[in-house]
């Protein structure tokens, strides 16, 4: 890296693999070395849990909403430049949408070739959840459709570093079989193992991001019809909700007269009710994540996730105090009709008892066909 360039590290991988958890760990690791970091989050919609988490960690963050990095390349460059202008980061950690692939040809190589005077592209990482990977790679029975699995395999194909995360959830034998299956898809990738949640095994990966330079080759063959079909099978829902206080319509009592509630429990209840609908209606959740922050205070929040319909939601961040008025974000990605997701979320919010619930934003859709701004499949 020349002194005038900023390192751009893209941490890809399927929905729920642990990208954000890893990025937050990496930001901590870099800060401990006296390096400044900027984050770029990305989603097809707005009201992002990942951005809320970055803000709660007091990290400079820019979000690209309304499309993936490849389709909003210009916005990505602008966001990166805004971070550089505001906080002069040494490293930018960018998290693409978990259903996105072909990022080397559409982001890394264009960044290198069109903006190489300002950015040095670090090796392309793809994070995997071992349980999901076993299912996609035929080591366990599939839960997501073959078209969604196509995207997953393409993500693995373009990785320079495959990071098998959540090593705390599977034993050595399963990890070894998985390594073999991943090498079958991508024989040249370096395969690392870690637990981002526990903070184990991360250092070799982070060292590579800091020192290495991308040599990634673009995916040799990709069928955009199949890629688009895979993405379109996923339903997407993002919601932002105000909970507690005097409610949207109430003219009377001020917020300070409203009952306080346990924000950690409320978040788990809402996600639990959405999950119960998924089980009852037989659709597979790819990732359900939520945060509940104190209104007006983005630094205090509860966060919880689950990455398959059979799981129960687990808190990764807890609120220390009861809540007067909370701002709830729900991001749900599942292989289901978005209208079904909307009903599931509205019904889950309806179960908040007497607490006033005001939906500030709710969008549900199927991701549109990816139309990259650039596709530069070869390195010059
Ligand atoms: N057991 C375990 N869970 C983990 C680990 N890393 C992440 N998780 C959990 O996996 C879930 C998803 O983590 P995220 O970091 O939000 O995943 P993501 O890849 O950013 O998800 P999307 O942004 O939706 O694509 C959360 O519940 C995390 O707490 C890990 O090392 N071990
Ligand atoms: Mg994330």
Residue 253 is encoded by which pair of tokens?
């009592």
192: number of CA atoms within 13 Å, CB side? Answer: 23
In angstroms, the CA 94 to CA 80 distance is 9
Angle between helices 19-32 and 203-211 (to 10 degrees): 70
pLDDT in tens, 41-83: 999 999 999 999 999 999 999 999 999 999 999 999 999 999 9
Q: In this structure, are residues 369 and 238 in contact, taking their beta carbons and an 8 Å threshold?
A: no
Sign for the CA dihedral angle at 117, 72, 8, 36 comes to positive
Report which bound ligand comes closest to the CA of 286: 1
The alpha carbon of residue 308 and the mean position of all alpha carbons in its chain are separated, in whole angstroms, by: 15
What average pLDDT score do residues 340-369 get? 97
Distance 20 CA to ligand 1 centre (A): 7
Report the percent of the chain where pLDDT is more than 70. 96
Distance 147 CA to ligand 1 centre (A): 23
What average pLDDT score do residues 341-355 get? 97
In angstroms, the CA 275 to CA 280 distance is 9
pLDDT of residue 380: 81
Poorest-pLDDT segment among 1-15, 201-215, 249-263? 249-263
In angstroms, the CA 375 to CA 302 distance is 39
pLDDT of residue 258: 61
Choice from 10, 13, 15, 16 to test ligand 1 binding pocket (greatest atom count within 8 A of CB): 16
In angstroms, the CA 361 to CA 1 distance is 42
pLDDT over 90 (residue 4): no
pLDDT over 50 (residue 252): no
Cβ-based neighbour number of residue 86 at 10 Å: 11
- CB under 5 Å of ion ligand 2: residues: 19-20, 50
* Three-state secondary structure call for residue 37: strand
Eight-state DSSP code of residue 200: B
In angstroms, the CA 70 to CA 154 distance is 15
Of 286, 288, 283, 316, whose CA–CA distance to 302 is shortest?
316
CB 339 less than 6 A from any atom of ligand 1: no
Q: In this structure, are residues 241 and 290 in contact, taking their beta carbons and an 8 Å threshold?
A: no
CB 223 less than 6 A from any atom of ligand 1: no
In angstroms, the CA 244 to CA 354 distance is 9
What average pLDDT score do residues 287-308 get? 97
């Amino acid at each position: 890296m020349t002194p005038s360039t900023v390192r751009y590290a893209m941490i890809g991988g399927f929905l729920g693999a642990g990208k954000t958890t890893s990025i937050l760990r990496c930001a901590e690791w870099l800060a401990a070395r006296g390096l400044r970091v900027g984050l770029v989050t990305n989603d097809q919609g707005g009201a992002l849990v990942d951005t809320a988490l970055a803000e709660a960690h007091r990290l400079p963050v820019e979000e690209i909403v309304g499309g993936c990095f490849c389709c909003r390349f210009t916005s990505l460059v602008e966001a990166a430049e805004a971070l550089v202008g505001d906080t002069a980061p040494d490293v930018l950690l960018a998290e693409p949408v978990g259903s996105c692939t072909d990022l080397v040809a559409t982001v890394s190589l264009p960044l290198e070739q069109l903006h190489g005077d300002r950015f040095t592209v670090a090796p392309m990482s793809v994070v995997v959840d071992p349980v999901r990977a076993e299912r996609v790679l035929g080591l366990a029975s599939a839960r997501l459709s073959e078209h969604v699995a196509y995207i997953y395999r393409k993500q693995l194909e373009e990785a320079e570093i495959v990071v098998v995360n959540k090593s705390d959830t599977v034993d050595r034998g399963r990890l070894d079989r998985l390594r073999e299956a991943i090498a079958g898809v991508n024989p040249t990738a370096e395969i690392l193992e870690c637990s981002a949640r526990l903070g184990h095994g991360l250092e070799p990966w982070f060292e590579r991001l800091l020192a290495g330079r991308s040599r990634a080759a673009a995916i040799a063959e990709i069928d955009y019809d199949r890629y688009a079909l895979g993405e379109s099978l996923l339903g997407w829902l993002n919601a932002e909700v105000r909970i507690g206080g005097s409610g949207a319509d109430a003219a009377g009592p001020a917020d300070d007269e409203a009952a306080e509630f346990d924000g950690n429990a409320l978040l788990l209840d809402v996600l639990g009710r959405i999950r119960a609908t998924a089980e009852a209606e037989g659709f597979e959740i790819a990732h359900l994540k939520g945060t509940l922050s104190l209104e007006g205070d983005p630094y205090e929040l509860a966060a919880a996730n689950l990455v398959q319909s059979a799981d129960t939601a687990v808190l990764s961040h807890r609120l220390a105090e009861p809540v007067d008025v909370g701002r709830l974000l729900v991001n749900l990605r599942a292989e289901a009709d978005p209208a079904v997701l909307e009903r599931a979320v509205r019904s889950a919010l309806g179960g908040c008892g007497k607490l006033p619930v005001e939906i500030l934003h709710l969008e549900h859709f199927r991701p549109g066909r990816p139309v990259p701004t650039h596709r530069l499949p070869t390195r010059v």
